[in-house]
Structure 1
Amino acid sequence: MSIDRQPRSSLRQVYVPFVPALWTVALGLWGLSRQHSMWRDEAATWQAARRSPAELWHMLGNIDAVHGCYYLLMHGLFACFGPSTTTLRLPSVLATAVAAACVAALGHRLAGARAGLAGGMAFGLLPAAQFQLQEGRPYALVAAGAGISTLLLVTLLHKPSRTAYWAAYGATVMVSGLLNWLSLLLLPAHLATLLWVGAGRGVWARWTTAATAATACVLPLILFSRGQSAQVAWIPPLTWHMMIGPAVLLAIGGAGALLDRPRAGRLSAASVGLPLLAVPQTGLLALSLIQPLFLDRYVFYSMLGLALLIGTAVGSAIRAAEPRAPRAAKWILPAVLAAAVVALLPQSLAKRSPASRVDDVLATASYVRHVKGTGSAVLFLPADRRDTAAVSPDAFAGLRDIALVRGPEESGNLKGTEASPEHLRTAMLAQRRILLVTDAEQAARPVTSEQDRTKTAVLEEYFTPVADRRVRGRRVTVYERLAPRA
């Protein structure tokens, strides 16, 4: 009997994480191009990844230092495989699959094979995961790092003397922190798990060493990027309604933890999953009281804890049903997954549409290609909307960017350097036709720079719109010069 059990156990250890990983990859490849769209955050990745290492280093000295390691990774991938939306998004697909596999492995180890399988499959279906699954940004990679480090921690709680595993744990936390230093909120979550299970002195000593080393390596990035905090000045202050989402997630996770019958001193899905869900969410809320930072993507990795607890709840339901209805119990997991797929299908379709993002730089560029005319000039309001031309320069061929003095690469940013308001006014008044690329009203932010105020004032006084169209979160308006007054 023992001879037969070992192969079955080994087989489960393989297929339990493998099936959710394969499932998540399939979800990621479905509609990967999002109808050939790209939004402003992905456009930032695109621009940074296409720069030389020297140009990228120059840029990081001014902006986006927090994403420097991710941009360097994407630069290498673009160099190897060429710039495309597939190259841009496939790392997130694979990273989310790794995260799903980690959830499944954790659930299997802590609550059984069916709980692991349910948790891993659930992770890829979560709306937040389906958003990050096809996002050309670092948050899915951070989630993969969080999953790997949590799995390593659980392994080390069983076998704490494995020095190589502790080194791998510290290195994984460090890499995740370099991709986004808010991922270090994972460490207090792991601290809560160690307190919950009553870890021994040896574990505490090794964990403290690994956590301290990882934090020390990320600390220079934290201190340097704090000098660029003006980049997140647009994030609104924390309000009560912003807490509704985290409260709902914690309620769902808490219900799953209760079904696991958590007890102090016992390593369980609850002791791992609940801190992993709750601590990053509440930690970011607390930080947002000091400086507004609350964006759910910054703690996307906390969804690992939610998926683990959901899987645990499904596993508990199966175990409860088995003594009374063993045949029906076998169908609980397939039925739950089928119901979840059907219920979340509208969300799944929505996440794969261009409307799921704030705007679409590719659709805007496509429209510009059709409306630009001979002798036209182009303006961007604000200057950040120049990303449309940076991503699709051929669409703007023949258009003169009359506000631009130095390009983004030379300026070490993503929007370039614009002329003074006086020079800009003179250049605008010399034009017969100006094409303006700006934000649609629902996505627009207040005009702040003097250059942008000048653009608005001159267009209103001396030009009249002859064509105006909203294109997936952006607005393209063609202006023609008014006839001089008699």
Structure 2
Amino acid sequence: MLWTCAFGLWGLSRQDSVWRDEAATWQAAQRSTAELWHMLANVDVVHGPYYLLMHVLFTCFGAGTTTLRLPSVLATAVAAACVAVIGRRLAGRWAGLAGGMAFGLLPAVQFHLQEGRPYALVTAGAAISTLLLTTVLQRPVRTRHWAAYGTAVLLTGLLNWLSLMILGAHLATLLWTRAERAVLARWVVAAGCGTIGVLPLVVFSQSQSGQVAWIPPLSWHMLIGPAVLLAIGGTGALLDRPRAGRSSATAVGLPLLAVPQLGLLTVSLVQPIFLDRYILYSMMGLALLIGTAVGTAVQAAGPRFPMASRWILPATLAVAVPALLPQSLAKRSPASRVDDVLAIASDVRHLKRPGNAVLFIPSLRRDTKAVTPDAFAGLRDITLAESPEEAGTLKGVETEPDRIRAALLAEQRVLLVTDASPVARPARGARDRMKTAVLNEYFIPVADKQTRGRRVIVYERRSTRR
């Protein structure tokens, strides 16, 4: 836990940057409970419990990058500790220690270790439920263990219902270890109760499925990452020499790695949703298998080289940490994210003049205003009909294209907040096309600042119309 926390606290602010996904968390957390409920009825209900948690934390500790990201650091540390305990129980103390320390080093984990989103918390919940599963497999079955397991499944599913795919991994582990029928029956009850509690969220979130319409269909190059992970995990499993009917690190780790990966790939054939963050918890299986490989090496060297065997893990870390240092530094850089909503706040402050108008293309770029409202003080949002809070959305509701045109033609100086050139897309929708057309025909750009994926352009009215 200390090792993972140290990695999490290192560069936690990411040079005071917040990217668009984290800005959604920031906006939701700062709304009142009533405004938040209103928003969840329209968008992001799948993240509702997480937003409510962050609302409480922002209320108690104030808005900031530390409050935004520290829950993910602590949750990842909990997951690392669970991996260590599971590894120690199933493969020995060296395997547990190596697996727990390897978890925080994995590039995917390092990315979400400092992310103001729910995926690290989902991973912690999945880790706790997996730890409880190994408990019931190794000790006399007690009702409280199954109750805790069902509760962990429920809470994790409420944070992100795709975490329910871990139940497939747990079932594979039970079948691999040839669990008794009584154990299987109790698992079905506990897992079923947890799943039933999540079903209302699953059903309601389907009405908002358009929010993931941007995810591209599955293609062959998307299979490379899972294939590499499964190859690495399979190598660690072979070193463990797993046998059916016996609890082992492989019996837990390999399904934990493989089933969510394969499950999400299968679902993506019907509805494209393949994003590795949705199954971040599968990295616990990879860490467990890596730890098992290190533990096997220590055990093999122990009888002949007892003193040297104790240095296998430190030596492995001494090689792994420098080798992954470029990745670690990159993950803590603002450039690791597609943009930074805070980056242009200072540019807006310097470029604006009292009474100027402000435009956003697309309207979701209004998140910069929501996160840094002081930077936009004195600017008039001339296209906004309903604020995001009033509309119960993250971007608000804009007026009709004709009214946008009329409002723009009444202005002399306009600030446009949009995406920087490398990540910008052509204007979509009638409103954005109208904004672009009027600016190009009746205005000329007099200032242009681009920083970390965001851009602010100052337009002034042409002296003569064409």
TM over 0.5: yes
Q: Partners in 1 of 2:85 and 2:422 — Cα distance? A: 43
Residue 372 of structure 2: aligned partner: 392
Residue 462 of structure 1: aligned partner: 442
AA matched with 1:122: A
Q: Say if 1:390 and 1:315 are closer, same or farther in 2 by CA, change over 3 A.
A: same
Candidates 260, 275, 291, aligned match of 1:280? 260
Q: In the TM superposition, what whole-angstrom CA distance separates every residue of 1:91-133 from its partner, at most 9, and x where no partner exists?
A: 0000000000000000000000011000000001111111111
Secondary structure of the residue aligned to 1:464 is strand
Q: Partners in 1 of 2:344 and 2:197 — Cα distance? A: 41
Q: In the TM superposition, what whole-angstrom CA distance separates every residue of 1:397-437 from its partner, at most 9, and x where no partner exists?
A: 11111111110000000101101000000011111111111
Q: Does residue 169 in structure 1 map to residue 149 in structure 2?
A: yes
1:448 CA displacement: 2.5
Residue 196 of structure 1: aligned partner: 176
Q: Partners in 2 of 1:173 and 1:41 — Cα distance? A: 25
**Which aligned pairs between 1:64-463 and structure 2 lie closer than 5 A?**
64-463=44-443
Q: Partners in 2 of 1:445 and 1:388 — Cα distance? A: 18
AA matched with 2:154: M
Q: Partners in 2 of 1:160 and 1:242 — Cα distance? A: 43
Residue 3 of structure 1: aligned partner: none
1:267 CA displacement: 0.7
Residue 36 of structure 1: aligned partner: 16
1:160 CA displacement: 4.9
1:482 CA displacement: 1.2
Secondary structure of the residue aligned to 2:355 is coil
Secondary structure of the residue aligned to 1:441 is coil
Candidates 442, 447, 459, aligned match of 1:479? 459
Residue 9 of structure 1: aligned partner: none
1:462 CA displacement: 1.1
Q: Partners in 2 of 1:83 and 1:474 — Cα distance? A: 22
AA matched with 1:415: K
AA matched with 2:275: L
1:446 CA displacement: 4.2
Secondary structure of the residue aligned to 1:394 is helix
Q: Partners in 1 of 2:183 and 2:140 — Cα distance? A: 6
**Which aligned pairs between 1:14-25 and structure 2 lie closer than 5 A?**
21-25=1-5
Secondary structure of the residue aligned to 2:343 is helix
Q: Partners in 1 of 2:350 and 2:336 — Cα distance? A: 25
Contact 1:104 1:118 (8 Å CA) reproduced? yes
Contact 2:146 2:187 (8 Å CA) reproduced? yes
Contact 2:442 2:465 (8 Å CA) reproduced? no
Q: Partners in 1 of 2:426 and 2:203 — Cα distance? A: 29
1:442 CA displacement: 2.9
In structure 2, stretches of 5+ residues that fail to align are none
Q: Partners in 2 of 1:113 and 1:444 — Cα distance? A: 50
Residue 12 of structure 1: aligned partner: none
Q: Partners in 2 of 1:222 and 1:373 — Cα distance? A: 47
Q: Partners in 2 of 1:127 and 1:64 — Cα distance? A: 27
Aligned length: 466
> How high is the sequence identity, in percent, across the aligned residues?
73
1:75 CA displacement: 0.6
1:467 CA displacement: 1.3
Secondary structure of the residue aligned to 1:267 is coil
Secondary structure of the residue aligned to 1:236 is coil
Q: In the TM superposition, what whole-angstrom CA distance separates every residue of 1:36-85 from its partner, at most 9, and x where no partner exists?
A: 00000110001101111111000000000000000000011111111111
Q: Partners in 2 of 1:433 and 1:383 — Cα distance? A: 19
AA matched with 2:337: R
AA matched with 1:466: V
Stretch deviating more after TM superposition (461-470 or 53-62)? 461-470
1:324 CA displacement: 2.7
Q: Partners in 2 of 1:347 and 1:360 — Cα distance? A: 19
Stretch deviating more after TM superposition (408-417 or 370-379)? 370-379
Contact 2:367 2:394 (8 Å CA) reproduced? yes
Contact 2:343 2:454 (8 Å CA) reproduced? no
Contact 1:46 1:391 (8 Å CA) reproduced? yes
**RMSD of the alignment, in Å?**
1.0
Residue 15 of structure 1: aligned partner: none
Q: Partners in 2 of 1:44 and 1:370 — Cα distance? A: 25
Contact 1:284 1:294 (8 Å CA) reproduced? yes
Q: Partners in 2 of 1:191 and 1:445 — Cα distance? A: 44
Q: Partners in 2 of 1:32 and 1:298 — Cα distance? A: 22
Q: Partners in 1 of 2:311 and 2:375 — Cα distance? A: 54
Q: Partners in 2 of 1:38 and 1:320 — Cα distance? A: 47
Contact 1:103 1:120 (8 Å CA) reproduced? yes
TM-score scaled by length of structure 2: 0.99
Secondary structure of the residue aligned to 1:38 is coil
AA matched with 2:130: T
Q: Partners in 2 of 1:57 and 1:422 — Cα distance? A: 32
Secondary structure of the residue aligned to 2:243 is coil
